[in-house]
Amino acid sequence: MSLPKDNKDSIPEPTKGLEGIVAADTNLSSVNGEKGILRYCGFNIDDLALDTTFEETICILYDYELPTEDRLSEMTKNIGEARVLPDEVVEVITKLVGKTSPMSTLRTVVSALGHYEKNVPLSELAPKALRLVGQIATAVAMIHRLREGLPIIKADPERGHAEDFLRMLHGDEPSKIQINALNLYLILLADHGFNASTFSARVTAGTLANLHSAITSAVGTLSGPLHGGANEKAMDMILEVGKPENASEYIENAFNNKQKIMGFGHRVYKVDDARRIHLKNMTELVCKENGNMEIYRTAEEIERQVRKRKSIITNVDFYSAPLLYELGIPTDLFTPLFAMSRVAGWTAHVLEQYKNNRLIRPRARYVGQIDRTFTPLQHRSEKRF
């Protein structure tokens, strides 16, 4: 598109979607798209994936260091004690459930929680941020219990985050594999560079707006189907395909209709999403425990059929879907579960932004008409408007 002749600004052509643009430095996570490697503060997620807890990842993102036993017990206790909501926020959830989606309810809950927190200096912000990490899990479980007309299950601060969430959601004792599976999920989705929702949290924090405003921005951004909303759509697809032998025709039709296949493609990863293999393996384990290998085999065949036709990677949302499904999580809670994990990264990024802040304000290249003649209202003839 040629610029209007008298546009004085020699602004260069924008990069669509800011692809490849480096917006700032971070010490939190590094996403190596060429090699498919994800690290939190330098620790490879392959080392964190199977033998640690979500609380350990939170310690890394907040302390930039592996926790000692004492630090980990302190974090587990703090998060456990934070899994409590003010009565007024429980009322907000009660009023909204059934009328709005769980993700819209969660966005409102995060905003409402901000009313029950004092503004504190940066030095005291970490405990406030961690409270939100704990509260979001309770809110997600409560949204489900209330809309199903089930009694609310109070948090047990003595338990780990993943275990207590499953207990609050289902009202029964989760198995060891289920606790491991949810821990893995929460660890793997905790942070991921400047993905859209994290970046929106940083833009909001960059104005020195408060923590809850920044996280409300992030929740809203995550809800889109091109980002955190893809897991729900991926599950709908897996259920619609139903059996492995249906996958080929389904994917052929989708590509012929130029549809985007949810759970595939990524702006940064070019060879593989570092998190895929862990999610895939854990999905197989949970499906085996549930005696439901059909879901796993169908997902696997969909992946094969997509990769046969287009070199796009399987992203984090694809195997997240059957994994959460087999943990008995209702599909419309998948994106809230994503938020339950990513709030660790979001809050860590907000703290990082505040610590070394500069307002985030890129430019736009104006390509509209320039220097147009103003006509006073009384002289504007009807026919033109």
Residues interacting with ligand SDX, by CB under 6 A?
17, 192, 195, 226-227, 230, 260-268, 310, 312, 315-317
User: What angle (nearest 5°) sits at the alpha carbon of residue 293, between those of residues 183 and 290?
Assistant: 55
Q: Which of 63, 227, 272, 332 is catalytic?
A: 227
Write down the least CB distance from residue 227 to ligand SDX, Å. Answer: 4
Write down the least CB distance from residue 198 to ligand SDX, Å. Answer: 7
Write down the least CB distance from residue 278 to ligand SDX, Å. Answer: 13
Tokens 């009660």 locate to 94
Of 110 and 254, the one with the shorter C-beta distance to ligand SDX is: 254
Of 71 and 270, the one with the shorter C-beta distance to ligand SDX is: 270
Provide the 10 A C-beta neighbour count for residue 355.
10
Tokens for 22, please give them.
Answer: 């480096």
Q: Indicate the helix (H) or strand (E) that contains 44.
A: strand 43-44
Q: How far is CA 357 from CA 145, 202, 204, 254, in A?
A: 40, 9, 11, 44
Tokens 């480096």 locate to 22
Judge contact between 94 and 148, C-beta under 8 A.
no
The torsion region of residue 82 among left (phi > 0), alpha (psi -120 to 50) and beta comes to alpha
- Decide: helix, strand or coil at residue 298: helix
Q: State CA 193 to chain mean position distance.
A: 12
Of 157 and 224, the one with the shorter C-beta distance to ligand SDX is: 224
Q: Which of 144, 161, 170, 266 is catalytic?
A: 266
Distance separating alpha carbons of residues 295 and 240, to the nearest angstrom? 11
Judge contact between 64 and 41, C-beta under 8 A.
yes
Distance separating alpha carbons of residues 195 and 193, to the nearest angstrom? 6
Write down the least CB distance from residue 62 to ligand SDX, Å. Answer: 19
User: Is 349 noted as a catalytic residue in this protein?
Assistant: no
Write down the least CB distance from residue 320 to ligand SDX, Å. Answer: 9
Of 200 and 315, the one with the shorter C-beta distance to ligand SDX is: 315
User: Is 144 noted as a catalytic residue in this protein?
Assistant: no
Of 157 and 265, the one with the shorter C-beta distance to ligand SDX is: 265
Instruction: List the catalytic residues.
Output: 227, 266, 317
